[in-house]
Amino acid sequence: MNDRTKLVDGVFTSIYKKYDLMNDIISLGYHRIIKRRALMCCQSGNLLDLAAGTGDLAIYFRKLFGENNKITLADPNSEMLDYAKIRLEKISINKNIEFVTTYAENLPFDNNSFDNVTIGFGLRNFTDRPKAFAEIFRVLKENGKLIIIDFSKPVIPIINTLNTFYLNNIVPLFAKIITGNISEYRYLAKSISEHPSQSKIIKMMETAGFINSRYENKLNGIIAVHFGEK
């Protein structure tokens, strides 16, 4: 485990109970709408949700496709997965559900195992994105779909400037008031600012073998949704 991996794991161990609140703060709640709409682009079949967090995408997928389609939630942070399991059980989502503690760069699944792979606000925390994309491509079935949702690069420079100020100054202030925790939120702001641009992510996807790769900007690119097919 390298230094970045240890840092990321430590961050999410500290804030997993506040993870949904964190996304609400950063996106002003809009992430929930984007997740629901993005999941409508999945196909019927099973799902691998990477960096699964507290299980938001699993909930939306289950509502769309029913309980006969298996969902595998994967995350390197066991505390986050335990929290997701409790959350899903409380709303009676407990059939055809699997929880796997793993990194996206080394997936413990057979080739051609999944119809859909999703990543909701987790790609920026991956240590080796090209390796992760290669692994995702490997475990996807032919014609399988990849959907990635994450904070990204605003198109208009003034919006990018305002967004950077918001992330570096306003979000930590909210975090201190609401959670009493600043350092982890400063990391999250940094991870957003250092995240590759929309076009660079497309190039990584295409290098891994994905076809029909594209992205849609939301809120002028503050959030972007990437799509690819095997």
Percentage of the residues of the chain whose pLDDT score is greater than 90: 67
Domain ranges of the chain: 3-154+197-229
Give residue 210's pLDDT.
98
User: Which class is 3-154+197-229 in CATH?
Assistant: alpha beta
| pLDDT reading at 11 higher than 60 | no
pLDDT in tens, 141-191: 999 999 999 999 999 999 999 988 988 888 777 777 766 666 666 777 788
Q: 149-165 burial string, b = 16+ CB within 10 Å, else e?
A: bbbbbbeeeeebeebee
What mean pLDDT value characterizes the chain?
88
Task: Provide the whole-model pTM.
Answer: 0.90
Give how far the C-alpha of residue 23 lies from the chain's centroid of Cα atoms, to the nearest Å. 11
pLDDT in tens, 100-138: 999 999 999 999 999 999 999 999 989 999 999 999 999
| pLDDT reading at 54 higher than 70 | yes
Give residue 18's pLDDT.
66
Q: How far is the C-alpha of 171 from the C-alpha of 188, rounded, in Å?
A: 10
120: nearest Cα among 202, 17, 226, 211? 226
Give residue 225's pLDDT.
97
Q: How far is the C-alpha of 171 from the C-alpha of 157, rounded, in Å?
A: 20
Give residue 66's pLDDT.
92
Give residue 4's pLDDT.
53
3-state secondary structure of 142: strand
